[in-house]
Amino acid sequence: MSDASILSPKGFRAAGVACGLKSVAGKKDLAILVADQAAGAAAVFTTNQVAAAPVLLSRETIKRGRPRAVVVNSGNANCCTGEQGLADAREMVRLAAEAVGAQPDEMLVCSTGKIGEPMPMDKVAAGIRDAAQALRSDAQAAADFAAAIMTTDTVTKTCCLTDRIGKADVTVAGACKGSGMIAPNMATMLAFITTDAHIGSRALTAALRTAVAGSFNLVSVDSDTSTNDTVLCLANGQAGGAPLAPGTADFDAFAEALEALCAETAKALVRDGEGATKFIEITVEGAATDDDARLVARSIAQSQLCKTAFFGEDPNWGRIACAAGYSGAEFDPSGMSIVLEGLTIFQDGRPTDYAEADAAERMKRREVRVRVLLSEGAGRAAWWTSDLSHDYVSINADYRS
Interacting residue ranges for a copy of itself, rule: CB under 8 A: 46-51, 79-82, 114-116, 180-181, 183, 185, 222-227, 302-305, 308-309, 311-312, 314-319, 321-327, 329-331, 333-334, 336, 346, 349-351, 388-390, 392-394, 396-401
For 216-302, where are the alpha helices, taking DSSP H only?
249-271, 290-302
For the bound state, the minimum distance from the C-beta of residue 397 to a copy of itself, rounded and expressed in Å, comes to: 3
Beta strand segments in 36-130, E:
40-45, 69-76, 107-114
Q: Which amino acid is it at 221?
A: V
User: How far is 395 from 401, CA to CA, in rounded Å?
Assistant: 12
Q: What is the secondary structure of 283-352 as a DSSP string? A: EEEEESSHHHHHHHHHHHHH-HHHHHHHHTT---HHHHHHHHHTSS----GGG-EEEETTEEEEETTEE-
Paired sense of beta strands 219-220 and 379-386, if any: parallel
Measured from the CB atom, the residue of 178 and 315 that comes closer to a copy of itself is 315
**Nearest distance from C-beta of residue 52 to a copy of itself, angstroms:** 10
**3-state SS string over 283-300?**
EEEEECCHHHHHHHHHHH
Which residue number, 126 or 322, has a Cβ lying nearer to a copy of itself? 322
Contact partners, residue 205, CB within 8 Å, separation at least 6: 40, 42
Of 147 and 373, CB closest to a copy of itself:
373
- Sign for the pseudo-dihedral over CA of 310, 48, 192, 152: negative
Q: How far is the CB of 106 from a copy of itself (least distance, A)?
A: 28
Residue whose CB is less far from a copy of itself, 255 or 284: 284
List 61, 151, 188, 205, catalytic entry: 188
Q: At 389, phi and psi to the nearest 5?
A: -115, 170
104 vs 351, beta carbon nearer a copy of itself: 351
Active site residue 154: no
Give the CB-side neighbour count of residue 25, counting CA atoms within 13 A.
0
Nearer to a copy of itself, 233 or 309 (CB): 309
Minimum CB distance to a copy of itself, residue 325 (Å) = 3
CB atoms within 10 A of CB 358: 14
Cβ at position 142, least distance to a copy of itself in Å: 30
Burial grade of 366 (CB within 10 A; 0-12, 13-18, 19 or more): exposed
Q: Give min distance, CB of 113 to a copy of itself, in A.
A: 11
* Pairing outcome for strands 107-114 and 69-76: parallel
Q: Which residues carry out catalysis?
A: 188
